[in-house]
Amino acid sequence: MVIFPYHQRKTEQLLTCSNFVEKARLNRAFFVTVTAKSKMKKLTKIKTKPNLQESRLRENCELLDQIRADTVNDIESLTEDFQHMSVVAESIRRNYQALLSENQLLKDTLVSIVDDCECWQANRCDRCKKILKSLESNHPNFPPNAAKKYRSILSQLRNLG
């Protein structure tokens, strides 16, 4: 009597019995259909003991494969999120740059209004005084050299990286 190895999935194997090469089809019901050279089919029930160590190993392998597939999906999702964040950051940069350009244009316009006024620098009219006051720092709590300090700190940070 030949004992065929147990397989969970349907597979086809070549088995050697009594100097004959026979083809066997294994399925989940633990039955083997054997086709010999004489084209006769025999149905044999296989009695196997479940191998706990092997089944645990298979479960662990399947679980690891599932974890790896989930990890790949998570990385793809993160990649898409980073691409979206990059697009958003670029949009914010463009909008901020446009805002800075508009602010600079407004400041230049106000300065040209003051320059074109008939009043003197030491004796400014009320309109020019209001314009110059609005051009001063909008944050009175900032010291007058705050921009220079910020620039020096920023350049030091850039030199570090």
Q: How confident is the model over 113-137, as a mean pLDDT? A: 88
* Burial group, residue 124, by CB count within 10 angstroms (0-12, 13-18, 19+): middle
Q: Cα–Cα distance between 39 and 22 in angstroms, integer?
A: 10
For the full predicted model, state whether its pTM sits above 0.75.
no
* pLDDT in the model for residue 146: 74
**Average pLDDT taken over every residue of the chain:** 76
Q: Per the structure block, which two tokens stand in for 82?
A: 């980073």
Q: How confident is the model at residue 60 (pLDDT cuts 50, 70, 90)?
A: very high
Q: Cα–Cα distance between 37 and 90 in angstroms, integer?
A: 72
Q: Return the bridge partners of 35, or none.
A: 23, 41
* Burial group, residue 120, by CB count within 10 angstroms (0-12, 13-18, 19+): exposed
Q: How confident is the model over 13-18, as a mean pLDDT? A: 42
Find all residues with CB under 8 Å of 25, minimum gap 6, and list them.
10, 11, 12, 32, 33
**Ranked by mean pLDDT, which of 46-50, 56-60, 87-91, 120-124 comes out on top?**
87-91
* pLDDT in the model for residue 23: 43
Q: How confident is the model over 98-113, as a mean pLDDT? A: 94
